[in-house]
């Protein structure tokens, strides 16, 4: 990401456009606000980090007494915020009892009253008189409601409802400014990831192995921002993609980004219970989604909705293999850096059991094609998202070693990292007297009408 597209530059431009001298900010993704905290802390009131799963404390050191961290009692947010508090002792940490906060936690929906109560205790700022309105500036969309001190709400990563459940109550106390668009939150990370050459190569290899044809009707389960659907769409000159996600927020963003791709239809759907008839699609794929749901149920659903002879491609993160940073690191620090984020739901899959699970779901000719995808833009959101996971575990000395190593590699023009993925393609068995298959000259039927709806995948 070039310097003129960094979040702090866009946010500062938006602050000036809206007349914000200073504003309270709440976000799940610390990297979105880290630049502003480091370079212009006077433009911020308090920062509320709402169940951050990945957190580099360093950018917030100068304003630690104005940092509030909300954490689950268990889950990755508990560890990340506990570690940050040791390095930012002036900050505040509020634990939600009994709450297991995952990287895709929908905390505002799950603990609405708690989140509202925490934000309501923020110290007063001068009120801001802005009429209710929507707009866009510096590439960031905004929606304003309420009257009072300004409270800016940045996007979460994968939370389905984002801030919606709390906005009516917050608008009684604050001028609430909700931000969105491709440059913030999980959408920015997903778009940045999909822009990587090796990531696109992984997706194209998957589709090639699936033998997707120009007139196919293809299902994407867990489309996120729709970046890969936009990459696939030009192949389907007579076909189309039905891009689904459980997340209303992401679906809305994906539809906005889809532009002129008329052969992509977005629809809300649960991977564990797809709203389509049997044999509805020529092919289907899902990329970094089955970590977050009941993977076996989702695989059976993918098998059900694809026609006999159709192929399904699946990609999951490989937490059973090391990730790699091209850095000169001390041995102990390298061992920490090699461990990928271990974020996976209890019934999810993020290891080599994927290949056996596909067979057990009924697929035959399961072909494994693991991939190693690289990222080389240390100013981009996907880099920060992965690096912040590591920084949340390091001591001060280790963090200093890490920064020295990254600066040296950057100076040499050799700063990049790579992380592994398990990838597989399987085929649905053709019945002896199959009727209605594509090979018999009949296109799949039974696809539910797919209109654009409000709206993932962990990175």
> Would you state the pLDDT for residue 121?
95
Same domain for 210 and 147: no
Q: Which pLDDT band, with edges at 50, 70 and 90, does 438 fall under?
A: low
The answer as to whether 286 is a domain residue is: yes
Same domain for 195 and 46: no
The answer as to whether 453 is a domain residue is: no
Same domain for 339 and 418: yes
Global pTM value:
0.90
The per-residue pLDDT for range 173-189, each reduced to its tens digit, is 999 999 999 999 999 99
The per-residue pLDDT for range 30-82, each reduced to its tens digit, is 999 999 999 999 999 999 999 999 999 999 999 999 999 999 999 999 999 99
Question: What own/partner pairs with CB < 8 Å and gap ≥ 24 does 326-334 have?
Answer: 326/409, 326/414, 326/415, 326/416, 326/417, 326/418, 327/402, 327/405, 327/406, 327/409, 327/415, 328/405, 328/408, 328/409, 329/401, 329/402, 329/405, 330/401, 332/398, 333/394, 333/398, 333/401, 333/402
The answer as to whether 454 is a domain residue is: no
Q: Which pLDDT band, with edges at 50, 70 and 90, does 259 fall under?
A: confident
Q: Which pLDDT band, with edges at 50, 70 and 90, does 220 fall under?
A: very high
Segments forming the whole domain that contains residue 10 = 3-180
Q: Measure the CA–CA gap between 33 and 37, rounded to whole angstroms.
A: 6
Q: What is the rounded end-to-end Cα distance, in angstroms, of the chain?
A: 17
Which residues touch 17 (CB under 8 Å, ≥6 apart)?
Answer: 137, 138
> Would you state the pLDDT for residue 258?
93
Query: How many domains in the chain?
Result: 2
Same domain for 75 and 18: yes
Same domain for 269 and 160: no
What is the longest distance spanned by two Cα atoms in the chain?
Answer: 74
> Would you state the pLDDT for residue 317?
97
Question: What own/partner pairs with CB < 8 Å and gap ≥ 24 does 429-437 have?
Answer: 429/308, 429/362, 429/364, 430/308, 430/309, 431/308, 434/308, 434/309, 436/279, 436/307, 437/279, 437/307, 437/308, 437/309
Same domain for 345 and 206: yes
- Torsions phi, psi for 214 (to 5 deg): -65, -25
> Would you state the pLDDT for residue 222?
97
The answer as to whether 396 is a domain residue is: yes
Same domain for 425 and 324: yes
Q: Measure the CA–CA gap between 162 and 155, rounded to whole angstroms.
A: 7
Residue 441 pLDDT > 90:
no
Q: Quick one: CA dihedral 259, 260, 261, 267, positive or negative?
A: positive
The answer as to whether 321 is a domain residue is: yes
Mean pLDDT for the stretch of residues 334-346: 93
Tell me which residue of 351, 377, 364, 372 sits closest to 419, measured CA to CA. Answer: 372
Q: Which pLDDT band, with edges at 50, 70 and 90, does 431 fall under?
A: low
CATH number assigned to the domain comprising residue 115: 3.40.50
The answer as to whether 245 is a domain residue is: yes
Same domain for 110 and 252: no
Same domain for 287 and 152: no
Same domain for 215 and 167: no
Same domain for 237 and 162: no
Q: Which one is predicted more confidently, 442 or 330?
A: 330
> Would you state the pLDDT for residue 129?
87
CB contact at 8 A, 82 and 71 = yes
Q: With both helix axes pointing from N to C terminus, report the angle between 185-194 and 197-210 in degrees, rounded to the nearest 10.
A: 70
CATH number assigned to the domain comprising residue 373: 3.40.50.150
Report residue 139 as tokens. Answer: 């590439």
Report residue 183 as tokens. Answer: 């440059």
The answer as to whether 152 is a domain residue is: yes
CB contact at 8 A, 282 and 213 = yes
Same domain for 372 and 295: yes
Report residue 6 as tokens. Answer: 């960094």
């Amino acid at each position: 990401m070039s310097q003129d597209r960094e979040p702090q530059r866009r946010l500062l431009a938006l602050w000036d456009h809206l007349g914000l001298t200073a504003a309270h900010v709440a976000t799940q993704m610390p990297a979105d606000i880290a630049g502003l905290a480091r370079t212009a802390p006077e433009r911020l009131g308090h920062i509320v980090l709402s169940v951050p799963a990945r957190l580099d404390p360093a950018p917030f050191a100068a304003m630690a007494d104005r940092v509030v961290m909300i954490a689950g009692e268990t889950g990755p947010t508990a560890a990340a915020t506990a570690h940050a508090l040791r390095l930012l002792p002036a900050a505040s940490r509020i634990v939600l009892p009994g709450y297991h906060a995952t990287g895709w936690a929908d905390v505002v929906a799950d603990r609405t009253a708690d989140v509202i109560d925490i934000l309501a205790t923020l110290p007063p700022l001068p009120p801001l008189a802005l009429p209710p309105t929507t707009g866009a500036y510096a590439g960031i969309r905004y929606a304003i409601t309420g009257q009072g001190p300004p409270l800016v709400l940045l996007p979460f990563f994968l939370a389905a409802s984002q801030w919606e459940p709390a906005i009516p109550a917050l608008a009684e106390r604050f001028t609430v400014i909700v931000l969105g668009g491709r440059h913030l939150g999980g959408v920015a990370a997903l778009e940045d990831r999909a822009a990587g050459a090796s990531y696109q190569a992984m997706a194209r290899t998957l589709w090639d192995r699936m033998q997707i044809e120009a007139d196919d009707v293809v299902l994407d389960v867990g489309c996120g921002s729709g970046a890969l659907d936009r990459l696939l769409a030009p192949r389907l000159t007579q076909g189309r993609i039905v891009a689904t996600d459980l997340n209303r927020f992401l679906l809305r963003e994906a539809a906005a980004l889809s532009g002129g791709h008329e052969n992509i239809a977005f629809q809300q759907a649960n991977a564990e219970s797809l709203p389509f008839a049997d044999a509805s699609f020529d092919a289907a794929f899902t990329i970094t989604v089955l970590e977050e749901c009941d993977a076996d149920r989702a695989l059976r659903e993918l098998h059900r909705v694809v026609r006999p002879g159709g192929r399904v491609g699946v990609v999951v993160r490989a937490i059973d293999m090391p990730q790699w940073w091209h850095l000169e690191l001390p041995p102990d620090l390298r061992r920490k850096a090699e461990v990928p984020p271990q974020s996976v739901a209890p019934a999810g899959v993020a290891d080599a059991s994927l290949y056996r699970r596909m067979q057990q779901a009924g697929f035959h000719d399961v072909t494994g094609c693991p991939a190693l995808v690289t990222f080389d833009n240390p100013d981009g959101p996907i880099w920060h998202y992965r690096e912040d996971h590591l920084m949340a575990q390091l001591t001060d000395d280790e963090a200093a070693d890490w920064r020295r190593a990254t600066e040296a590699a950057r100076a040499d023009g050799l700063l990049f990292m790579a992380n592994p993925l398990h990838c597989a393609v399987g085929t649905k068995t053709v019945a002896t007297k199959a009727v209605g298959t594509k090979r018999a000259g009949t296109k799949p039927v039974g696809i539910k009408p797919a209109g654009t709806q409000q709206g993932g995948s962990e990175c």
